[in-house]
Amino acid sequence: MTARAADSQFADSASLLAFLARAAAVPSEEGLPMSELDHGLQCAAALSASRPDDVELQVAGLVHDVGHAFASGDAHGRLGAAAVRPVLGARVATLVEAHVPAKRYLVTVDAAYRATLSPGSIASLALQGDELEPAEVARLAAEPWWDDALELRRADDAAKVPGADVPLLDHWVRAIERLAAR
């Protein structure tokens, strides 16, 4: 997978699915013995288990790290959101963007959370700005979608198990196509 311009967007569900399929050959951003696709599939599966009726949240879990093809640090959430918004809609894009500040939020409000992070997440946390200011915490906590962003973040943190048995990309095709058709 090659990096695309920062203003890249997926044209349709087929281009997004092709991109995700190529992510099977991209090593995990954290250096884990798994691919970027494996990570997204695990995240989506975890969200499917915790929120079985929320397909948008599940698909956000699947695509939350597509922005790694464009940038690292906190920019990958923003750029990933911009890329998926035309195909998957505003809510999925908002959740993709929010998974980065959600980590910073949890580190700020939960003293034990930092110890649960993988070494790669701890390293990226420093690039993303580490803890939030009190005003940022209050602003995020007031967002109506914030609980969903935190659920996505926790699934992201747990989705780092090499070889985990989860549904493959084919399982998600219909969900992505339905979201794209809206």
Handedness of CA 178, 20, 166, 31 (dihedral sign): negative
Cα 113 to Cα 16: distance, rounded to the nearest angstrom = 32
Domain assignment present for residue 3? The answer is no
Residue 4 pLDDT greater than 60, yes or no? no
Contact (Cβ atoms closer than 8 angstroms) between residue 169 and residue 63: no
Domain assignment present for residue 2? The answer is no
Amino acid 73: pLDDT: 67
Q: In Å, how far are 33, 121, 133 from 39, measured between CA atoms?
A: 10, 13, 30
Domain assignment present for residue 34? The answer is yes
* Domain membership of residue 33 as a residue range: 13-181
Cβ partners under 8 Å of residue 18, min gap 6: none
- Into how many domains does the chain fold? 1
How does residue 119 score in pLDDT terms, banded at 50, 70 and 90? confident
Widest Cα–Cα separation across the chain: 42
Domain assignment present for residue 5? The answer is no
CATH number at residue 177: 1.10.3210.10
Mean pLDDT for 101-121 is 91
Contact (Cβ atoms closer than 8 angstroms) between residue 152 and residue 26: no
pLDDT in tens, 20-50: 999 999 999 888 899 999 999 999 999 999 9
